[in-house]
Each structure stands twice: as C-alpha cells, then as structure tokens.
Amino acid sequence: MTEIILGLVTFFTSAIAAIVGLGGGMMLIAVLPSFLPLNAIIPVHGLTQMSSNVSRAVFGYKDIQYETIPKFLIGSLLGVGLFASIVSVISLEYVPLFIGIYILLSLWSKKFNNKIKKFENYYILGFFQSGLSVVVGATGPLTLTLLYKDYIDKNKVVATSAALMSISHLLKILVFIYFGFVFFDYIELITVMIIAAILGSYVGTKLRNKIDGKKFAIVLKVLLSILAFKLILGLFI
C-alpha cells in the first residue's frame, strides 16, 4: 500500500514540477515523513527527485541553457563538499528562513535585485542549492529565481532548472552512499517512485506547452512566494 500511495504522490508532484518548474520536491518531502524513517527521507527523496529532474531535462533537452551548467557544477561541488563535512557541527535551524526571505526579496524588490546582481550568479547558487540540499532536501527555488530573471521562455526556465537540480540531487546521493546509506533496503519503493516520477515528468511536459507564457510567469511567482512563506512560517509554527 505504501508503494501505491507514494507512487501516486510522486506522479502528481513530478507532473506539477514539469508544468511550472517547482513545488514538486517540496510537496513530496512534506509527505515522506508519514511513510519513511527519518534517516531515509532525504536520500529516498533525493533519488526520486533526481529521476524526476533528469527525465524532465531529457524531455526538454532542446531548451536547456547549457552555459549555466559548468558554473553551477563548480559551485555545487564546493558546496556539497563543505556542507557534507560540517553538517554535524553547525546549526541549520534558520536556513529555511534565509532561503524564504531571499526568494521573496528576489521576486518582489527591485532595490534588492539591483544590489544583488553583482553577487547573484550560478557559482554561488550552485554552492548553496547543492550544499543545503544535503540537509534540507528541496532547495530548487533558489536557482529558479535567477533563471526566472534570465530567461523569459517557460520551457527554458523549466528545462534548465531540471538540469541544474539533477546535479544537486546526484551529488547529494553520492554523499549519502559515502556515509553508508543502503538504498537497496528500499528498492521496491524506490523503483515504483522512479517510474512514477518519469511518467509524471512526461505528462507534465506535454501539459506545459498548453499554458500561456504570461500566465506561467504569474503562476511561477505566486508559487515561489507561497513556498517562501511556507519556509518562513514553518520555522515558527
């Protein structure tokens, strides 16, 4: 029964992510604690999300802006290396608060954007998105805010975001393998969730092309804002 439920949830969240570019990972990680032990949540989520993002990137490979990948990869390697080495000795309690505030300011404050432009780049965002994903799971909105500003076309935003998030999840999986997590213990569940994630990506990609670009931009900003508020309020509620 767990496999069926999580398979359906994964399909739905993967389709949502393929349509609007985000939200699927956060929705899924919010559900997993009801079905998995704490030590398995982030690694299982990471492997499933890698499947979702890789498939989404493959289905939209023509729209990927490949110039972003080397910069993001370099930042990601440094970020994962640092966070994996210090995760046991630092407090990450307020990380969601800072992520949420950054997203809101980036989306709605022109003054903030004018000041942050000189610092905001794919090296830095790769460092934080991939590094923080080791401990907080879903960090996709971090890079999506910059992609949303750099590329107007919704297909470019979603496909490139999927490629970059694939890097984050792959590195995170390697970290958990290094620390001894045995993915094979959850092989049946993981197999079902991977298949569901790929199917969800396919369906979502097909539906995305039916959505108006201006409406997409509005939906994306609203969803990002909701997720940001959720991150901030989750710290206090």
Domain boundaries, the chain: 2-234
pTM: 0.79
Please give the structure tokens belonging to residue 203.
Answer: 């369906």
Amino acid at 57: A
Phi, psi angle pair for 114, to nearest 5°: -65, -35
How does pLDDT run across 197-228, given as a tens digit for each residue? 999 999 988 888 787 656 766 777 787 788 77
Decide if 56 contacts 158 (C-beta within 8 A).
Answer: yes
Structure tokens at 133: 């994903």
Going by C-alpha positions, the residue among 227, 178, 30, 147 that lies closest to residue 170 is 178
Helix (H, G, I), strand (E, B) or coil at 120: coil
- Number of Cα atoms under 13 Å in the Cβ half of residue 55: 25
Distance in Å from the first CA to the final CA of the chain? 31
pLDDT of residue 42: 80
pLDDT at 151 (0 to 100): 86
